[in-house]
Structure 1
Amino acid sequence: MIAPSDSSPACQKGPEDYSLPFSREMTANHYNFPLIRSRRGRGLSLLCVIACLSCSLILAIWYGMNSDRDYIHPVLTQLIPAGHCACQTSTTFQCSTCLSCPEPSISQPSSPSGLQQSWKWDYPRDAPNEALEHSQCQAAFPGLFEDIARGQRHWLSNGRIASEDLDAIHLQQGMVRASITRGYLHVMAARAKNEDHRRKILGVLGSIHRALAADRDRASRRDIEFVFSVEDKVEDVTSPDRPVWVFARTPLEQGVWLMPDFSFWAWDNPNNYIGPFDQVVDRIQQLDIPWDNKKPQLVWRGKPSFAPKLRRALIEAARDKPWGDVKQVEWSTGANVLKMEDHCHYMFIAHVEGRSYSASLKYRQACNSVIVAHKLQYIQHHHYLLVASGPNQNYVEVERDFSDLSEKIEPLVRDTEAARRIAQNSARTFRERYLTPAAEACYWRSLFDGYGNVWNSSGVAPWAEKRTKSQGLRYESFILLESSHMYEFRADAFHSGSG
């Protein structure tokens, strides 16, 4: 029995002082009051404990996702949700069109001597040539245009693309509406959130203009109108069934078209200067060292918080391994920062996706080193040439949680000749062919052609209510605008004097 408290009437009077004897009901009610209060107190205490534990768990997960410290407890790593890497799907590429086929050659017009000439890809001669003819592009880069062919098939089976489809796309910040008219690039609308957006937009426009300027047949090129985005993910700006040109897509995002990312033109922002991609490749080749002088280790530098689930899995898989040189970067102090070309001094370079795709893959492929990448979720335009096994293997693929990293790396550390073959395949495939300025220009023109084949325009001036508005501002004039005018640009308002 629970004793009554000092403040209860029973402490002031005994039961015999009441004029009526205690009934069973009165006794039960009397003694249940403190019991109810006790149960309520325990319930509130339990709720407080649950709330504290929940808050602690939320704070711990937030810390794990946003911290760039080298070490957090493995249990916390397991609790981190997928976050930016919103699913565990991935795509493995095995291009069938094809790295294993005999290298094709094509006939060129007769020489002055009257002899027919044959043309084959020659890296030193042709890599910087942005003016290769269509037949040369097809012969030099089999497999590079796979995603363009996929986009054509998708839109041929979905009614082609018309101006009305572009009208239905709400231009978000980081998007541009443009056209190619009589071989010239025009900008009709552009939206940029900040200076980083503006620079990326200019990078894409510059690449398009460069590919057009080198086109011998630009005057006869079909007019097209298009929308592109410089955001990392399709879902940041539009739905995946819209015909938007993007840097990367997932396998399920079928409506969009892949284009080369902005950094092929140049990567430059206030906190990071890398420069034009081909300039970086030249610097890497000049500073690279012989294979036998490379460190037989796996190198990676980056911010874990960009993709904590993936990147912390890599950090933990390589921790305390003699072959591991995997570290987080402290940009505020400069700790662990490694120049792009210094990555090439290692035999193995890890690649991890970030918020979506990671533009750094092509810089790593510029090294004569083995690229080690988890199964990729995002597709870029040159990913179809990634080969994970066989005689043409050009990278090492591991699981997304890096659970098999050791079993994939350690045999190659012991047999560096096997690793050398993979590295050489990578350099020949990407650095010396599919990531050259010539390949980029060929891809852009193939994109113009493939998109043009499903562009169902009525042939009147693009982007116009009742088709009366301007075709847009020529690229050459657009890049001369003040930066502030590029953030929210509309050609129709500009030409009316209010832009």
Structure 2
Amino acid sequence: MHRRGILGTTLLLALVLLFWYQQRTYSRPTPPTHSPHHNTQWDYKRDANTLILNAARCQSAFPGLFAEVDRAKRERANRHIRLDEIDSITIKNGYVRAMIYDQQLYVIKNNGTIYSRELATLHALHRAIVTSPEPLPNIEFVYNTDDRVDPITQWGYARREEDKYIWLMPDFGYWSWPETKVGSMKEVQMKAEVAEQAWPWTKKIPRLFWRGATMGLEVRDKLVEITKDQPWADVKPIIWRNNESMKNDLRSMPDHCEFKYLAQTEGNTYSGRLKYLQSCRSVIVSHKLEWIQHQSPLMKNSGPEQNYVEVRRDWSDLHEKINWLEEHDEDARRIAENNVRTFRDHYLTPAAEVCYWRHLIRSWAEVSFKPEFYTEVDGKQVWRGVPVESFMLERRLKWEPY
């Protein structure tokens, strides 16, 4: 009996020690050395893929990123967005009407399709919602994925200076652009970083590089004309579906990083190429842009923070600007460094993108009506929309009843 008592006491003591150890090890973990909510110093390697920054941290990490949203909100500060405005928007190709309600994204209406753009934008918006560390307000809105949208109160990828009522959102390519085989923005950036290892500044080809379809656009035709037979240029138009042209002239986006100077041209409206060029440690040479994107306020064409070179829209001073870059190689290198530091390593990261989406949602809510979750059909209350998860799998809003 004495021995059994000793064993029982020993076992009890072992259990107490085990319980104490578990409480010490698992119940009271050591706080992490980095909290994305409190450390305000941006660190690209640590923060680029952090999707859980709160609103205060987003503001401190990305000063200037939200200029376009704040501008649009000011336009409606004294004249709030009404339900009948949204109802009156003409349903065109690329149209999506959606709602965020109790932290869930719903698709209410859609029309047509422009490649994969509508789905890409829904995916990006959904990611920003489900990773938010703070509750987001209920809102209802319309966005359109066409290059050019009606200049009314809706969300779009780009606008002109006079299109004051369009609210800008990140374009579809930040999620992915599969039709052009570019892939996701993160994929482009990772491949650009690898390319930069093989092509540091001193080894980059000292030419102005451009590939693309001219599509009969004057600004592109003029670039081809101005650079013809110039030793400082490697500019060629691509003829889509022409096997010879595609085989000999097409270059991947990471291949662009081999060149010191990259030409940027607008297309039908804005050009989806710009964000990819901003992933290279190269000098972007752009004609004066008419179309504004969400990152446009961060582009600087002069001063110590200059991150691109601007030329006239007809390219008439292009040769002069290239000569200057060739004669001022250290300045050119500084501009290229500013480009990649501002965009690839900071403002075009996944962390910045979700911060922008959430600021857009909050700002819209501040000057807009509150949505209704239900509508009445045949005397019954029914949901106004389909959860985005189901819509993206089925790609339709209605199902036949069993």
TM-score normalised per structure 1: 0.70
Report how far residue 198 of structure 1 moved. 5.1
Give distance in 2, aligned partners of 1:462 and 1:390: 53
Q: Residue 172 and residue 462 in structure 1: after superposition, are their counterparts in 2 closer, same or farther (change >3 A)?
A: farther
* Selected match of 2:148 from 215, 233, 257: 233
Structure 2 unaligned blocks of 5 or more: 1-29
Assess if the C-alpha contact under 8 Å between 1:179 and 1:462 holds in 2: no
**Structure 1 position 274 matched with structure 2 position 274:** no
Query: 1:164-175 alignment to 2 at 5 Å?
Result: 164-175=84-95
Q: Residue 374 and residue 140 in structure 1: after superposition, are their counterparts in 2 closer, same or farther (change >3 A)?
A: same
Letter in 2 for 1:460: E
Partner of 1:3 in structure 2?
A: none
Report how far residue 469 of structure 1 moved. 4.5
Report how far residue 330 of structure 1 moved. 2.6
* Selected match of 1:156 from 74, 77, 87: 77
* Selected match of 1:314 from 193, 199, 223: 223
Q: Residue 320 and residue 120 in structure 1: after superposition, are their counterparts in 2 closer, same or farther (change >3 A)?
A: same
Partner of 2:68 in structure 1?
A: 147
**Structure 1 position 460 matched with structure 2 position 368:** no
Report how far residue 409 of structure 1 moved. 1.1
SS of residue paired to 2:215: helix
Give distance in 2, aligned partners of 1:467 and 1:397: 59
- Larger mean CA deviation between 127-136 and 312-321 belongs to 312-321
Give distance in 2, aligned partners of 1:112 and 1:344: 37
Report how far residue 156 of structure 1 moved. 1.6
Report how far residue 277 of structure 1 moved. 0.5
Partner of 1:80 in structure 2?
A: none
Which digits, 9 at most, give the CA deviation of each residue in 1:379-431, with x for residues without a partner?
Answer: 00000000000111000000000011111111111221111000000010001
* Selected match of 2:175 from 245, 260, 265: 265
Assess if the C-alpha contact under 8 Å between 1:192 and 1:198 holds in 2: no
* Selected match of 1:420 from 322, 333, 342: 333
Partner of 2:127 in structure 1?
A: 210
Report how far residue 164 of structure 1 moved. 1.4
- Larger mean CA deviation between 418-427 and 168-177 belongs to 168-177
Give distance in 2, aligned partners of 1:437 and 1:469: 36
SS of residue paired to 1:119: coil
* Selected match of 1:403 from 316, 328, 338: 316
Assess if the C-alpha contact under 8 Å between 2:173 and 2:184 holds in 1: yes
Q: Residue 464 and residue 321 in structure 1: after superposition, are their counterparts in 2 closer, same or farther (change >3 A)?
A: farther
**Structure 1 position 357 matched with structure 2 position 267:** no
SS of residue paired to 2:300: coil
* Selected match of 2:50 from 104, 118, 129: 129
**Structure 1 position 444 matched with structure 2 position 361:** no
Assess if the C-alpha contact under 8 Å between 1:225 and 1:462 holds in 2: no
Which digits, 9 at most, give the CA deviation of each residue in 1:96-120, with x for residues without a partner?
Answer: xxxxxxxxxxxxxx9689xx97431
Q: Residue 319 and residue 226 in structure 1: after superposition, are their counterparts in 2 closer, same or farther (change >3 A)?
A: same
Assess if the C-alpha contact under 8 Å between 1:127 and 1:436 holds in 2: yes
Which digits, 9 at most, give the CA deviation of each residue in 1:106-155, with x for residues without a partner?
Answer: xxxx9689xx9743110000001111111111011111101111111111
Give distance in 2, aligned partners of 1:226 and 1:431: 30
Give distance in 1, aligned partners of 2:380 and 2:302: 53
Report how far residue 205 of structure 1 moved. 0.2
Query: Runs ≥4 in structure 1, deviation > 4 angstroms?
Result: 110-113, 462-469, 495-498
Letter in 2 for 1:224: I
Q: Residue 438 and residue 462 in structure 1: after superposition, are their counterparts in 2 closer, same or farther (change >3 A)?
A: farther
The alignment of Structure 1 onto Structure 2 pairs a total of residues equal to 364
Report how far residue 496 of structure 1 moved. 7.2
Which digits, 9 at most, give the CA deviation of each residue in 1:187-212, with x for residues without a partner?
Answer: 0111124xxx2511100000000001
Report how far residue 162 of structure 1 moved. 2.0
Assess if the C-alpha contact under 8 Å between 2:139 and 2:369 holds in 1: no
SS of residue paired to 2:342: helix
* Selected match of 2:215 from 280, 294, 305: 305
Give distance in 2, aligned partners of 1:403 and 1:327: 18
SS of residue paired to 2:107: strand
Give the aligned CA root-mean-square deviation in angstroms: 2.3
Partner of 1:477 in structure 2?
A: 390
SS of residue paired to 1:161: coil
Report how far residue 302 of structure 1 moved. 0.8
Letter in 2 for 1:412: L
SS of residue paired to 1:231: coil
- Larger mean CA deviation between 440-449 and 330-339 belongs to 330-339
Report how far residue 257 of structure 1 moved. 0.4
SS of residue paired to 1:379: coil
**Structure 1 position 291 matched with structure 2 position 201:** yes
Q: Residue 303 and residue 225 in structure 1: after superposition, are their counterparts in 2 closer, same or farther (change >3 A)?
A: same
SS of residue paired to 2:181: strand
Give distance in 2, aligned partners of 1:315 and 1:455: 46
Give distance in 1, aligned partners of 2:380 and 2:360: 25
Percent identity of the aligned residues?
A: 39
Letter in 2 for 1:212: I
SS of residue paired to 1:409: helix
Give distance in 2, aligned partners of 1:467 and 1:225: 22
Assess if the C-alpha contact under 8 Å between 1:163 and 1:462 holds in 2: no
Q: Residue 117 and residue 462 in structure 1: after superposition, are their counterparts in 2 closer, same or farther (change >3 A)?
A: closer
Assess if the C-alpha contact under 8 Å between 1:461 and 1:468 holds in 2: no
